[in-house]
Amino acid sequence: MDLNLQKDSAEIYTYLVSRAAAYTPAADHGPGGVGPIKMIYAGYEFDQQGWFALIFDRRPAAAHDGEWTVYLEGNMLDRPVWEAARRRNQGRPMRVANGERHS
């Protein structure tokens, strides 16, 4: 199994741009009310599931307290190949493509 991080990074970039462009406080599922964004969290998981998440935190006293993890649903970009690659890598090596060319 190959893990293509160059392809994943392009898809994550597109996801970030689309989330930022479509952002409205009233429609966003994240911590806080409809006030201004105080913090933005980008997180990922590859061990039990594969995903990348972007959470906008509008709490007036936003803090690095893990509250953002309650708001994953609806804010994740699925990356199922990450978890599959991790499982396979337990018994076999994997090749990671990062865009560099080797001769």
Question: Which stretches of the chain score pLDDT less than 70?
Answer: 1, 98-103
CA 101 to chain centre: 27
Instruction: Map residue 54 onto helix, strand or coil.
Output: strand
- Output Rg (C-alpha) for the chain, integer angstroms: 16
9 vs 27: CA distance, rounded Å = 26
Looking at residue 103, its pLDDT comes to 41
Instruction: Map residue 96 onto helix, strand or coil.
Output: strand
